[in-house]
Chains A and B, each alone.
Chain A
Amino acid sequence: MAHELTVMMLTWEFPPRIIGGISPHVYNLSKSLAKNDVKVYVVTCDFPGAPQHEVVEGVEVFRIDSYKNPSPDFATWVYLMNINMQKEAAALVNSLDGKVDIFHAHDWLVANSGIGLKHVFRKPLLATIHSTEIGRRNGIHFDYERMIHETEAWLTYEAWKVICCSNYMVSHVKWAFGLPEDKMIMIPNGVNIQEYEKNQNVDLSLFRRRFALPEEKIVLFVGRLVYEKGIHVLINAVPKVLEKVNAKFVVVGNGYMKEPLSNLVKSIGLAHKVIFTGFVDDETLRNLQKCADVSVVPSLFEPFGIVAIEAMAATTPVVVSDTGGLSEIVEHDVTGVKVYPNNPNSLAWGIAKVLLDENYANRLKNNAYKKAQEKYNWDKISQQTKTVYEAVLNEYSKSFWA
Chain B
Amino acid sequence: MLALVARRALVQRRVLAAVVVLVAAAATLLGVCTLLLSATQDRAFHAEVQRSQADDVDVTAYVVGLAGSDLADVRQQARDVVGGVLTPLHPRLTSIATARMRRLEDAHRLAYLASGDGIAPEAELTSGRWPHDAASGRPEAAIPDSTARLLRLHLGERVVLGQEIGLDGADNPVDVVVVGTFRPRDQAGWQGDPLSGQGFDATYSDGSVTAPAYGPFVVGDAAFVATGSSVTGLRVTAHPTLSLATRSSLARAVGKLGHADALLSSRAAGRARITRVASNLPDTLSRIQAQQATTRGTVLVLLVLSLALSLAAALLAGWLLASIRDDERALLVSFGLSRRQQMSAALVEALALAVAATLVAIPVAALVHARLTHLPRLRAAGLTQSPTITWGLVLTVLAGAVALALALVVTVQDSSTASDRSSRRRAAERSGMGALLVGVAAVGWWQLRTQPPTSTVHGDVTLTAAPVLCLAAVTVLAVQVVPLLLAGAARVGDRSRGLVVPLAMQQAARRPHVGTAMVLIAAAAAASVFGLALQTTWGRSQDDQADLRVGTDLSLALLAPAGPQDSIAVAAATGPAATVSPVVDTPLALGSYLGDPGSPPMLVAVDTRHAGELLRGRVDAGTDWSSIGRRLAPHAPAGGIPLPADGTGVELTGRAPAGASITVTPTAVVQDASGFRSSVAATSLPMDGRAHPVDWLGPIVGGARLVAVRLDLDGDPGIDPRGDPGQVQTGEMSVKLRLPGRGGARPSWRLLSARSDSPVRDATASVGADGDGTALTATAGIDLGFFVYTGASLLATALPTPTELPVAVSQDLLDAIGAKVGGRLAASVQEAPVPLRVVAVVPNVPSAPGRVAVLLDADLLSRALVDAGRLDPVVNGWWVSKPSPGVVHALRESSLGQVTTRHEVAAQLRHGPLRATVPTALLTLVVAAAVMLVAGVGLVLSADRQRRSADVARLRALGLTRQDARRVLLVEHGSFVVPLVLVGALVGLVAALALGPHLVRSEVGAAPVPSAVVTVPWAAEALLVGGLLAFSLVLVAVLAAVQIRRSGPADLRAGDL
A and B are partners in one complex rather than unrelated chains: no
Which residues from chain B sit less than 8 Å from chain A, CB to CB? none
